[in-house]
């Protein structure tokens, strides 16, 4: 097993865990904060825009079972790459879409995927504004944020309705990677 990690930001981390966690080859997905300037930020600090962090998920995966390319493809389906200042109901720089890369290989894959997505025309004339940035320290969010979709089913289902509509509009039904 060659375990690697990937970090994706695409709005509220509550809705980013489940799509990755249910895939074969994923050993763990954790919600957290990255890209900011304060050590050990809290949810309240990040939400108040005091730390520069973005809500994100860190995915541990076995690259023999699932490729980084597959994870990036799934990411495009879970986060609107044309909205630089948030995702769906989640507004602000702490919800901006970012692929945080851990290596030159991840950067190459993410950049090529972004170019291909833009050239596909799926979003019409809208630009793909998701940034691709070097990974920095990933601070795990408080425990009550972890696996939110399992702990707070009703609230999670409310939160993900606009994501589901986005996915259906641009990617169709039954798409998983």
Q: Which residues are catalytic?
A: 12
- From CA 47, how far away is CA 136, in angstroms rounded? 19
Q: What angle do CA 11, 143, 8 make, to 5 degrees?
A: 30
**Cα separation, 50 vs 44, whole angstroms:** 9
For residue 151, the model assigns a pLDDT of 82
pLDDT, residue 5, reads 97
At residue 173, the pLDDT reads: 58
Region of residue 40 (left: phi > 0; alpha: psi -120 to 50; beta: else): left
Residue by residue, DSSP assigns 80-140 as -TT-TTEETTEESGGG--EEEESSHHHHHHHHHHHHHHHHHTTTTT-----EEEE--PPEE
pLDDT along the chain (177 residues), means of 10: 88 88 94 96 94 96 96 93 80 89 98 96 92 97 86 77 78 56
């Amino acid at each position: 097993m060659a375990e690697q990690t990937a970090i994706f930001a695409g709005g509220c981390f509550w809705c980013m865990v489940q799509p990755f966690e249910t895939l074969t080859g994923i050993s763990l997905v954790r919600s957290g904060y990255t890209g900011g300037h304060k050590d050990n930020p809290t949810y309240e600090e990040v939400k108040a825009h005091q730390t520069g962090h973005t809500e994100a998920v860190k995915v541990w995966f076995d690259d023999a079972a699932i490729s980084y390319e597959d994870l990036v493809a799934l990411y495009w389906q879970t986060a609107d790459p044309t909205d630089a200042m948030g995702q769906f109901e989640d507004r602000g720089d702490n919800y901006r879409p970012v692929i945080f890369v851990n290596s030159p290989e991840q950067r190459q894959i993410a950049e090529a995927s972004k170019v291909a997505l833009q050239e596909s025309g799926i979003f019409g004339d809208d630009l793909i504004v998701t940034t691709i940035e070097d990974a920095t320290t990933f601070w795990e969010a408080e425990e009550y944020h972890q696996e939110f979709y399992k702990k707070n089913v009703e609230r999670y289902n409310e939160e993900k309705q606009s994501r589901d509509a986005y996915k259906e509009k641009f990617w169709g039904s039954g798409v998983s990677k």
